[in-house]
Amino acid sequence: MSRFDHKPRLESTRHDIVIVGGGGAGLSAAIAIAEQHPQLSIALVSKVVPMRSHTVAAEGGAAGVVSASDGLDLHFRDTVVGGEWLCDQAAVDYFVARCHEEMVRLEHWGCPWSRGEDGYPAVRNFGGMSTARTWFAADKTGFHILHTLFQTSLRFPRIQRFDEYFVHDLLVDDGCCRGVVAIDIASGDFHALQAGAVIMATGGAGRVYRQNTNAGILTGDGLGLALRHGVALRDMEFVQFHPTTLPGSGVLITEGCRGEGAYLTNRHGHRYLQDYGLGPEVREPVPKTMELGPRDRLSQAFWHEQQAGRTVDTPNGPAVQLELMHLGRRKIAERLPFISELAKTFVGVDPACAPIPVCPSVHYTMGGIATDITTATALPGLYACGECASVGIHGANRLGSNSLAELLVFGREAGLQAAGFAADQARQGTAAALAAQARESAARAAQWLARPAGGLRLAELREQMTTAMQDGVGIYRDAERMASTCESLENLSQLLDSISLDDRSRCFNTEWLSAIELGFTLDVARCIAHAALNRRESRGSHQRLDGYNQRDDDQFLRHSLATLAPGQPPQIHYRAVNITRLPPGERRYGGGSATEHKP
């Protein structure tokens, strides 16, 4: 009946370096290699065409010290204090020293940064930063960064793109990562890409939760891939809730609004953040004060307002109000045009006339594939950068605008490191062994299409997972609910094999891909839940209500490392934090009291 034979084809190609992910991190890596090592062949593999990657959605800006009154040390301190000392301080030092250069590099490639009257790129305030150092391109910074990188990458014919190829496995031989196996989505055929080194740049895993700011593609594939090959995920319990997103959809309303001076008010029109140690109430934006506090504190304050019944009700749940009216139509049009469009489109609000209803949603995966400061993972030949990686700069709470900068700094680093590794020909694997591995892996993935009908629906399982995470591992956590989430997740991952697909065809079968993704997402969810349950303290974005309400440096000033063995719940280990020069201290915001608001 079919016009095509159903036998999965397996093609195979060789490259010096394979990059998985065409977002800001993957593209930075690719361009760095192409520029510095023009003799190397680069395969850029992405399940969506690169400019569709979720970097495109970043709005607010990218950090990079510019002004004379600022300094690298200040950026370092803001980041380490913001991350509540769970940052690798050497990595942070390396990072802050390179941000500015990367912003300039992007400018030279054509990035349309917003400008001051003097013709130099402008900077804005951002949460938790002591001074304005966030570069921006109106409120579409990520969009412009991604398109600039993508378009610049077209200059280099050595970057061979594999657009809409879905990576479902790594090739590992002789203890080294030597390539990936992918599905060519359009045809459903398999493709093994062998390489001297592999870079993971697959982005975050926000889809683990129900209400999030992430794209549909952010299912944590890279994290899942690393886990399955024995590489640990670090600090996964730290999940950032962004305080200002649209109720229901989770569409992001950038922190840039607050950087420009927006207010957050409760149902009484009261700027409630002053009640949570972030005051005094100021009319103009003051760094690290009120609305410019860090994201963890702001999301937590929302939770308390909600408990106290001071939020407003929307058809999609409780919200507070983000007021931009006093900024004036002109400034909104110039600095926040996309926010204006989003608010009008998705909630029917013109922000120049009325407040936008907002609430916290899951936004950013602070943890990730554990790497050292050079982006190398524990698996030789495997590098990781961008949101899927944990190089250690975000700690327990990322500061807004540090991530886009991270993509550039560590994307480049990953590219150069991987190039160095791949150039060492002695490490090349045995082609025959790799081919056999690829065949096996392809056959496993193809099994999804042969499963009997009548099983569970994929979406049902996914919904149960996201609900369990939303309920058990939210802004405030307790042992009972986390344990119950852990249990549900273990059950769900047993059920994965009982799913059956409606679509057994090969060509552009997105249901098939979703099933493989769900496998990755579930593994990531399990790591988050177990790491959270095991961290018996409160720090940054991980806040507990069950007696572990305080930070406990003695026990837990340590990174968590999650590993996964088949058929077992995740194992959580701990590793010391690299503290080079800023000893742990108190985390203060606002001009007011240092007392932390605890329930």
**Which of positions 198-227 make contact with other proteins (CB under 8 A)?**
215-217
Q: Phi first, then psi: what are they for 391, rounded to 5°?
A: -90, -10
Among residues 391 and 561, whose Cβ is nearest to ligand FAD? 391
Among residues 206 and 279, whose Cβ is nearest to ligand FAD? 206
Among residues 103 and 486, whose Cβ is nearest to ligand FAD? 103
Binding window for ligand FAD (CB under 6 A); candidates: 98-106, 109-117, 201-209, 260-268: 201-209
Give yes or no: 398 in active site. no
User: Between vectors from CA 529 to CA 527 and to CA 535, what angle results, nearest 5°?
Assistant: 100
Does 60 bind ligand FAD (CB under 6 A)? Our answer is yes
- Nearest residue (beta carbon) to ligand FAD: 23
Q: Following DSSP, what letter does each residue of 533-567 receive, concatenated?
A: HH--S-BTTBEESSS--S--HHHHSEEEEEE--TT
Does 511 bind other proteins (CB under 8 A)? Our answer is yes
Does 25 bind ligand FAD (CB under 6 A)? Our answer is yes
Pick one of other proteins, ligand FAD, none as the site partner of residue 45 (Cβ within 5 to 8 A by kind). Answer: ligand FAD
Task: List the one residue from 131, 148, 153, 214 that touches ligand FAD (CB under 6 A).
Answer: 214
Which residue type occupies 546?
D
| CA terminus-to-terminus distance, the chain | 65
Q: How far is the CB of 135 from ligand FAD (least distance, A)?
A: 10
Which residue type occupies 298?
L
List the beta bridge partners of residue 166: 183
Residue pointed to by tokens 């496995």: 169
Does 424 bind other proteins (CB under 8 A)? Our answer is no
Catalytic option among 178, 191, 242, 398: 242
Q: Following DSSP, what letter does each residue of 23-36 receive, concatenated?
A: SHHHHHHHHHHHHH
Count CB-CB contacts under 10 A for residue 120. Answer: 11
Write each residue from 456 to 475 as x if it is in contact with other proteins (CB under 8 A), else as -, in one continuous string: -xxx----------------
Task: List the one residue from 8, 71, 112, 230 that touches other proteins (CB under 8 A).
Answer: 112
Pick one of other proteins, ligand FAD, none as the site partner of residue 346 (Cβ within 5 to 8 A by kind). Answer: other proteins
Residue 326 buriedness (CB in 10 A; 0-12 / 13-18 / 19+): exposed
- The CA R_g of the chain, rounded to the nearest whole Å, is 23
Pick one of ligand FAD, other proteins, none as the site partner of residue 51 (Cβ within 5 to 8 A by kind). Answer: other proteins
Does 107 bind other proteins (CB under 8 A)? Our answer is yes
Show contacts with ligand FAD in window 242-281 (CB under 6 A): 252, 254
Residue pointed to by tokens 């950013």: 364
Cβ(45)–Cβ(193) under 8 Å? Answer: yes
CA atoms within 13 A on the CB side of 548: 20
Cβ(262)–Cβ(124) under 8 Å? Answer: no
CA atoms within 13 A on the CB side of 314: 22
Cα separations in angstroms, 348 against 139, 257, 340, 356, 480: 19, 18, 10, 9, 39
Show contacts with ligand FAD in window 470-499 (CB under 6 A): none
Among residues 458 and 486, whose Cβ is nearest to ligand FAD? 458
Cβ(321)–Cβ(264) under 8 Å? Answer: yes
Among residues 52 and 133, whose Cβ is nearest to other proteins? 52
Binding window for ligand FAD (CB under 6 A); candidates: 107-115, 217-225, 427-435, 453-461: 217-225
Q: How far is the CB of 196 from other proteins (least distance, A)?
A: 26
List the structure tokens of 15. Answer: 């490259």
Strands (E), 175-261: 176-184, 189-200, 233-234, 239-245
Does 450 bind other proteins (CB under 8 A)? Our answer is no
Q: How far is the CB of 45 from other proteins (least distance, A)?
A: 15
Pick one of ligand FAD, other proteins, none as the site partner of residue 271 (Cβ within 5 to 8 A by kind). Answer: none
Does 203 bind ligand FAD (CB under 6 A)? Our answer is yes
List the structure tokens of 229. Answer: 């090959």
Task: List the one residue from 386, 415, 429, 474 that touches ligand FAD (CB under 6 A).
Answer: 386
Show contacts with other proteins in window 237-276 (CB under 8 A): 248-249, 251-252
Among residues 177 and 205, whose Cβ is nearest to other proteins? 205
Catalytic option among 15, 161, 258, 398: 258
Pick one of other proteins, ligand FAD, none as the site partner of residue 147 (Cβ within 5 to 8 A by kind). Answer: other proteins
**Coil, strand, or helix at residue 448?**
helix
Does 340 bind other proteins (CB under 8 A)? Our answer is no
**Coil, strand, or helix at residue 240?**
strand
Task: List the one residue from 97, 109, 281, 553 that touches other proteins (CB under 8 A).
Answer: 109
Binding window for ligand FAD (CB under 6 A); candidates: 17-25, 265-273, 432-440, 545-553: 17-25
Among residues 436 and 459, whose Cβ is nearest to other proteins? 459
CA neighbor of 122 nearest in space, from 110, 106, 137:
137
With CB under 8 A, what is the number of residues at the site for other proteins? 71
Count helices and strands (H / E) in the chain: 15, 22
**Coil, strand, or helix at residue 257?**
helix
User: CA 486, CA 472: separation in Å to the nearest integer?
Assistant: 9
Task: List the one residue from 502, 554, 568, 576 that touches other proteins (CB under 8 A).
Answer: 502
Write each residue from 391 to 430 as x if it is in contact with ligand FAD (CB under 6 A), else as -, in one continuous string: ---------xxxxx--x-----------------------
Does 140 bind ligand FAD (CB under 6 A)? Our answer is no
List the structure tokens of 275. Answer: 């009640």
List the structure tokens of 272. Answer: 């409630």
Task: List the one residue from 16, 31, 42, 47 that touches ligand FAD (CB under 6 A).
Answer: 47
Residue 347: its H or E element = helix 337-347
User: CA 102, CA 273: separation in Å to the nearest integer?
Assistant: 34
Show contacts with other proteins in window 148-207 (CB under 8 A): 151-152, 154-155, 163, 186-187, 189
Pick one of other proteins, ligand FAD, none as the site partner of residue 350 (Cβ within 5 to 8 A by kind). Answer: none
List the beta bridge partners of residue 382: 198
Contacts for 432 with CB less than 8 Å, ≥ 6 apart: none
Give yes or no: 335 in active site. no
**Residues tagged active-site:** 242, 258
| Positions that interact with ligand FAD (CB under 6 A) | 20-26, 45-48, 50, 53-55, 57-62, 141-142, 166-167, 201-204, 213-214, 217-218, 221-222, 252, 254, 363-364, 386-388, 400-404, 407
